[in-house]
Amino acid sequence: MAMRSIAIAIATSSLFTHVVCAAEGASRCDPPAVQEDGWTVVAPEAPGLSPAILCEMGEGVAAGQLSEVDSIVVVRHGALVYERYFNRPHAISYDAATRHVGNSMTKSVVSLLLGIAVDRGLIGDLDTPALSFFPEFAELRTPDKARITLRHLLTMTAGLNSSMSPQLLSRDRDPDRHAFEKALAREPGAAFEYSSLDSEIIGAILEKATGKPLDMFAMDELFRPLGITDVDWYGRLGNQRAMSSTGLSLRPRDWAKIGQLVLNQGAWDGKQLVSSSWIAQSTSPQVSAPKSFSYGFQWWLGHSAVRDHTVAWTAALGFNAQKLIVIPEYDLVVVFHASRESVQMVAPEIELLNRYILPALQ
């Protein structure tokens, strides 16, 4: 993977630390186990994180004093430095080999897939009308709907009637037609309105442009090149297409690979899987969103404060507290998974980031 030589050097320099930690018997605070999955594993202190602070976080979560997450994975400088899994009475037993559904984190992965299609010339200008991909819906092409573009769909400003949830579409044998049949809720481009329907239309356009089922295109062009082989896509639309708004399930380590790919500006193991220009556009503010967020191309943009300094991050966020957070300034990727939704949109997992992981940077 990219930065492998740096990570190997870090691993060599930290060998003595590994031995000391093992001797102390702090098994739950030791570095992650080495697996044949493409990750280099090092002790947290090697790339400059305090193992004591990370251990305190893990023990607090395990004791039920902090967020009820199922797993936490931390990557720095391209190396896996922290990984812990927590078994809850209400959840299945998780470990490094267990997939975890990302819910709406799926949207951000589909954005990468769209970028690949654009890079290959399968999809042209983002200001192309969305309905141009659906000539079979000619009778639905009203002047206002004709103004909906791919860019609007990516930024959730299409104005589609978002009452058509993926759950409703899963029971509809012609979900794409149904998406365009209803009157628009607002003028295209007028305002951000979080809508899984926008993401589902992106999935439909991808299948039309690539000539492949969405999940097959994802496996061929993204997952397999990343060394991700254990993939499931829960939920299908009524036409049996994999949902592009939710349902993707990967191991937490593999979700972290998605984050590292974004951190690497689309490169992995010496290969450019997604263009750096697409990553730059996707992770730049395109529209204002609620709760002091901005929104890119199906990626959330936020910030945290550490030591009186504001740190910008990019995130894939999903229901029930799924979070993949990329922090370029610190060359850091963090993955949280949980089985219950917190009351607030990003807390308390962001509190773990702000209170423990960022302060652990030395």
CATH for 339: 3.40.710
pLDDT band at 165 (very low <50, low <70, confident <90, very high): low
Is residue 203 located within the same domain as residue 117? yes
DSSP state of 152: H
Is residue 159 located within the same domain as residue 77? no
Share of the chain above pLDDT 70, in %: 87
What residues have CB less than 8 Å from 17, skipping those under 6 apart?
A: 43, 45, 46
Is residue 63 located within the same domain as residue 113? no
Rounded Cα–Cα distance for residues 333 and 300 (Å): 14
Q: Are 203 and 267 in contact (CB under 8 A)?
A: no
pLDDT tens digits, one per residue of 116-139? 999 999 999 999 999 999 999 999
CATH number assigned to the domain comprising residue 180: 3.40.710.10
Q: Among 74-83, 240-249, 267-276, 277-286, which stretch is predicted with the lowest mean pLDDT?
A: 240-249
What would the mean pLDDT of 352-360 be, rounded to a whole number?
95
275 beta partners: none
Q: Are 197 and 162 in contact (CB under 8 A)?
A: yes
pLDDT tens digits, one per residue of 193-223? 999 999 999 999 999 999 999 999 999 999 9
Q: Which amino acid is at 334?
A: V
Compute CA distances 84 → 54, 66, 253, 260, 263, whole Å. Answer: 10, 14, 11, 18, 22
Mean residue pLDDT across the chain: 88
Phi first, then psi: give them for residue 354, nearest 5 degrees: -75, -35
**What pLDDT shows up at residue 16?**
33
Domain membership flag for residue 239: no
Q: Among 59-73, 162-176, 269-283, which stretch is predicted with the lowest mean pLDDT?
A: 162-176
**Tokens 């994180």 -> residue:** 49
pLDDT tens digits, one per residue of 271-306? 999 999 999 999 999 999 998 899 999 999 999 988
What would the mean pLDDT of 172-178 be, rounded to a whole number?
82
In the chain, the number of structural domains is 2
Is residue 228 located within the same domain as residue 196? yes
Rounded Cα–Cα distance for residues 149 and 129 (Å): 4
What residues have CB less than 8 Å from 325, skipping those under 6 apart?
A: 259, 313, 314, 315, 333, 334, 335, 336, 353
Is residue 183 located within the same domain as residue 150? yes
Q: CA nearest 142: which of 175, 191, 172, 182?
A: 182
Rounded Cα–Cα distance for residues 71 and 73 (Å): 7
Q: Which domain holds residue 273?
A: 4-98+251-357
What residues have CB less than 8 Å from 172, skipping those under 6 apart?
A: 178, 237, 238
Is residue 156 located within the same domain as residue 199? yes
Q: Are 78 and 4 in contact (CB under 8 A)?
A: yes
Rounded Cα–Cα distance for residues 242 and 206 (Å): 11
Q: Identify which has the larger pLDDT, 343 or 240.
A: 240
Is residue 122 located within the same domain as residue 221? yes
Compute CA distances 53 → 32, 92, 204, 256, whole Å. Answer: 16, 27, 45, 21
Is residue 277 located within the same domain as residue 344? yes
What residues have CB less than 8 Å from 193, skipping those under 6 apart?
A: 156, 157, 159, 162, 185, 186
**What pLDDT shows up at residue 23?**
32
Is residue 39 located within the same domain as residue 128? no
